């Protein structure tokens, strides 16, 4: 039986950290599942790490369906979360539902959408119709042109309050999980303490309910300058499964992210 959102909620209540990695194919999906990962994110980051694009904006719905189906075929136990790509949900809740249904049919158990209060109606529309939603605030890659680049969010009193308010609104709207990307650790801790749903950090400190990294980054395969929140777990491992196991253990023990990986 697959891990469910209820399982993750119970982990939060028992103070067990949640370990998540991105995944895009059946082979790695099986490796990650067997190495103890709790959930897999079929991320639109595939645009960067698989397709060589500079942003995630060119990733299509068909891309996400294809890779979701591949990951689902390679797993039996883990929860599968899939990003809804740019343009597939922003226009209306009805469009979001139509496209989310296709992703769920491909094998996902949850969809992830980016944005704050502007997405509240969409989150409510989806969840009331049986589609679990993971919300995503902070640095939201699909809004990269609006944000002016990949940079820390919520680092002023005003912007921090806005992110806290956004998180509350998304939870009230029915979001079952919240990803927080590239925000100060203290703010992420406050949001986590305020909400009852799992919070998943990426560059958001170690007080979140769990962590997620892009698999290629965790395996030391990323190119160019590495963001501060990345750790290469292959350095101290002799194999990919060992690196994944080390990541899972580090997350669950609260050793990752350490102070050097947060803001």
Which residue out of 181, 189, 236, 260 is catalytically annotated? 181
Instruction: Compute, in degrees rounded to 10, the torsion defined by CA atoms 219, 224, 227, 231.
Output: 20
Q: Is 19 exposed, middle or buried (0-12, 13-18, 19+ CB in 10 A)?
A: buried
Residues with Cβ within 8 Å of 173's Cβ and at least 6 positions away in sequence, in order, are 119, 120, 121, 123, 124, 127
Q: Is 45 assigned a ligand-binding role in the annotation?
A: yes
Measured distance CA(97)–CA(145) in Å, rounded: 25
- Reply yes or no on whether 181 is catalytic: yes
Q: Is 83 assigned a ligand-binding role in the annotation?
A: yes
How far is Cα of residue 174 from the mean position of the Cα atoms in its chain?
Answer: 17
- Give the residue numbers annotated as catalytic, written as ranges: 181
Residue ranges of the binding site for 3-methyl-2-oxobutanoate: 44-45, 83, 112
The binding site for Mg(2+) consists of: 44, 83, 114
Annotated binding-site members? 44-45, 83, 112, 114
């Amino acid at each position: 039986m697959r891990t469910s959102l209820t399982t993750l909620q119970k982990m939060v209540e028992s103070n067990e950290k949640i370990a998540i990695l991105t995944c895009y194919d059946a082979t790695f999906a099986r490796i990650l599942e067997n190495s103890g990962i709790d959930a897999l994110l079929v991320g639109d980051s595939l645009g960067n790490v698989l397709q060589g694009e500079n942003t995630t904006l060119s990733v299509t719905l068909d891309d996400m369906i294809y890779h979701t189906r591949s990951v689902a075929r390679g797993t039996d136990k883990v929860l599968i979360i899939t990003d809804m790509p740019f343009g597939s949900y922003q226009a209306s809740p009805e469009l979001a539902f139509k496209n989310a249904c296709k992703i769920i049919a491909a094998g996902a158990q949850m969809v992830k959408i980016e944005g704050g209060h502007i997405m509240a109606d969409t989150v409510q529309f989806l969840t009331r119709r049986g589609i679990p939603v993971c919300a995503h605030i902070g640095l939201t890659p699909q809004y990269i042109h609006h944000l002016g680049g990949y940079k820390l969010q919520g680092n002023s009193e005003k912007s921090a309050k806005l992110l806290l308010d956004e998180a509350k609104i998304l939870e009230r709207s029915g979001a079952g999980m919240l990803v927080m990307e590239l925000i100060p650790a203290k703010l992420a801790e406050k949001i986590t303490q305020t909400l009852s749903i799992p919070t998943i950090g990426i560059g958001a400190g170690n007080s979140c309910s769990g962590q997620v990294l892009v698999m290629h980054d965790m395996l030391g395969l990323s190119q160019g300058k590495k963001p501060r929140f990345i750790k290469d777990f292959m350095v101290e491992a002799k194999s990919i499964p060992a690196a994944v196991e080390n990541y899972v253990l580090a997350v669950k023990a609260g050793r990752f992210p350490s102070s050097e990986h947060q803001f």
